[in-house]
Homo-oligomer: A and B are copies of this chain.
Amino acid sequence: MVQQAVLDRVFSCLADPVRRAVLVRLGEGPATVGQLAAPAEMSLTGMKKHLRVLEEAGLIVTEKVGRARQCRLAPAPLDEAMSWISFYQRLWARRLDGLDVYFTLRKGEESDHDA
């Protein structure tokens, strides 16, 4: 059973374009807070807030390297988010397929009646 709080946190991270961009950037390799803030044209303080949210969701890990704080990707919690969406997508697709079959059959029966 996936914890609701994990889904809350992971989806909440993904709901922000700056945080998605940070994940995409870290997918290419570790980066410092400054390296992440620059392309987003964001203050270090602003970026640090986003990084804290990502770290609380377990999507990134940060560590002090010399005087800088380095961040790297920890994509495992995305599995939970992915599983939630794909589970319900499959369930709903089956249900809609079932409805299609039902209406096709009913239409067939109506045509028989009309004939």
Report which A residues bind B (CB closer than 8 A).
Answer: 4, 7-8, 11-12, 14-17, 20, 23-24, 27-28, 73, 75, 78-79, 81-82, 84-86, 88-89, 91-92, 95
Given contacts A14-B11, A15-B12, A20-B7, contact A85 B85 (CB under 8 A): yes
**Contact among B15, B28, B89 with A8 in the assembled complex (CB-CB below 8 Å):** B15
- Nearest-CB distance from A104 to chain B (Å)? 19
Q: B residues within 8 A CB of A7?
A: 14-15, 17, 20
- Nearest-CB distance from A53 to chain B (Å)? 11
**Residue contact A15 to B17, C-beta cutoff 8 Å:** no
**Residue contact A78 to B73, C-beta cutoff 8 Å:** no
Q: B residues within 8 A CB of A95?
A: 27-28
The complex places the Cα of A16 from the Cα of B8 at a distance, in Å, of 6
Q: B residues within 8 A CB of A82?
A: 82, 85-86, 89
